[in-house]
Chain A
């Protein structure tokens, strides 16, 4: 397995050949995409099975419905991918989804123009995110617990300020941002693509993305090399909160209703599961937005396909649980084979 040869005597080596060789690079690149290839295969095989049982699965209207149901999860998953790659974990997203929506909804029903109400909802998400980061950095509370705490606090606030009832009666302009479509393709799918591309570029090309990967990969090393890890955490959790709130607001626009019981634990678990199935490591450092997109699509496909072929939807969680454990087992196996300890 030794591909690198540091320590070989330098005599007789020419400069050009020393530090570059295509083969190991290709192998490293290839290995990075194997899990995604496996996921794509999984998505295609399931599609074939569902289509064989019921041809309407592959109809364009069903595929658009499938994608639309994946979009809100995927949008939240983009930010969660960044948080996980950075070595964190944000469980509060399900509650922030509801809180952002009801704050925006209440402001609109009290006469605030919708763009301002939307910004206020997103700002509340940022505040919860900063609280998550602060609790983990300054109080030393592990992210799992800090964000579980804010999950309950944010969810509780959403229930208290609405009295537990749904908020509705929104302006049409607001509803159309979530419910509108161009040529039959919902706006939501466009939002998901735009947000996905932005997060992909941030993670793969920017200094912020590299710092995130380094911090998640080895926090001590990142800090020792001058990366400001606390500031990075702040930015990651604030982004996660903002995006979760935005997704909740878009979901409220789509349904013309902001419900304090939207999102919740099931959204949190589905998003984190989709991200992990997509190949993002729970231990930080590795992960891709494309993988999370595939994870979200696989999720939506299982939901949708089981309904289309008339399998009791109660079965879907069993599938998802098995896939989650299998995905993490495969990730562990790859790590063991790939890295020396």
Chain B
């Protein structure tokens, strides 16, 4: 395995199992993600990526296995639990409110306030400063999300996760809706996150993107871990082999 030195994993999953009726979506899955690294989770449709993401973000609760954040055992029974433990999730649907502007969306659920009132000035100033710092260019922080393109929305959603200062950022298919330029921009933001020392976990289909930003790759297949590789010590061919099952670290019984 490729654990960096003696450093403890910032987020660790052990033996995670999740069943839906007769279907076992995850069977004893382990995962370790480290601060200041990007872990990409790859896999074919039905490999268990989405289920895994939903367990880490608190949408689902595992039937078996445990989750540790910075070594401490945690139980995520709701998305709020996950957020409180320092996990910020950028869901594939982005969870943005179309009729509200960029700065309001950046602070959704955590509005700066003065008593009962919104501190709109502070909210806009902080949003603007944050977006400028990360070279995110939207016409105005008062632009409504509904007026932005899909790619611009994705960037705002990533920026929001960065703004919360969460120690662990989980991204579900961050480039699914993006064009070439926007993908490059998203990659840059993710690298910035990593360089700040954030633990980044990124589910993606996009092999070029993964090899561009990830430090390690974990491949899922049929609800199990097919393999974990350092990006520098593997090839796209090997990763594709892990995804399709032609290369395997462990025997995987085909499920009926």
B179 contact set on A, CB distance < 8 A: 7
Stretch at the interface among B104-112, B221-229, B239-247: B104-112
Q: Cβ of A340 and Cβ of B148 under 8 Å apart?
A: yes
Q: Cβ of A19 and Cβ of B140 under 8 Å apart?
A: yes
Considering the chains assembled together, what is the distance between the CA atoms of A221 and B155 in angstroms? Answer: 16
A206 contact set on B, CB distance < 8 A: 116-118
B135 contact set on A, CB distance < 8 A: 10, 13, 18
User: With an 8 A cutoff between CB atoms, is B156 at the interface?
Assistant: yes
Total A-B Cβ pairs within 8 A: 157
Considering the chains assembled together, what is the distance between the CA atoms of A13 and B131 in angstroms? Answer: 13
B131 contact set on A, CB distance < 8 A: 18-19
* Closest Cβ–Cβ distance, residue B241 to chain A (whole Å): 33
Stretch at the interface among B5-13, B60-68, B89-97, B194-202: B89-97
Query: Which of B159-211 touch A at CB < 8 Å?
Result: 178-179, 181-182, 184-185
* From B142, B146, B152, B182, contact of A339 by CB (8 A): B146
Q: Cβ of A25 and Cβ of B108 under 8 Å apart?
A: no
**A8-B137 in contact given A224-B91, A226-B109, A340-B149 (Cβ < 8 Å):** yes
User: With an 8 A cutoff between CB atoms, is B32 at the interface?
Assistant: no
A115 contact set on B, CB distance < 8 A: none
Q: Cβ of A25 and Cβ of B143 under 8 Å apart?
A: yes
B116 contact set on A, CB distance < 8 A: 206-208
Of the candidates B139, B150, B156, the one having the most CB atoms from chain A within 10 angstroms of its own CB is B139
* From A205, A226, A285, A338, contact of B97 by CB (8 A): A285
Q: Cβ of A13 and Cβ of B137 under 8 Å apart?
A: yes
- 23 chain-A/chain-B pairs, Cβ below 8 angstroms: A3-B147, A5-B139, A6-B156, A7-B137, A7-B151, A7-B178, A9-B181, A10-B137, A18-B137, A19-B127, A24-B140, A28-B143, A205-B120, A207-B116, A210-B104, A217-B97, A218-B96, A221-B94, A224-B79, A226-B83, A339-B98, A340-B146, A340-B150
Q: Identify 10 new A-B residue pairs, CB closer than 8 A, beyond the known A5-B137, A19-B140.
A: A3-B139, A3-B147, A6-B148, A20-B128, A20-B140, A20-B141, A22-B140, A23-B139, A210-B118, A224-B79
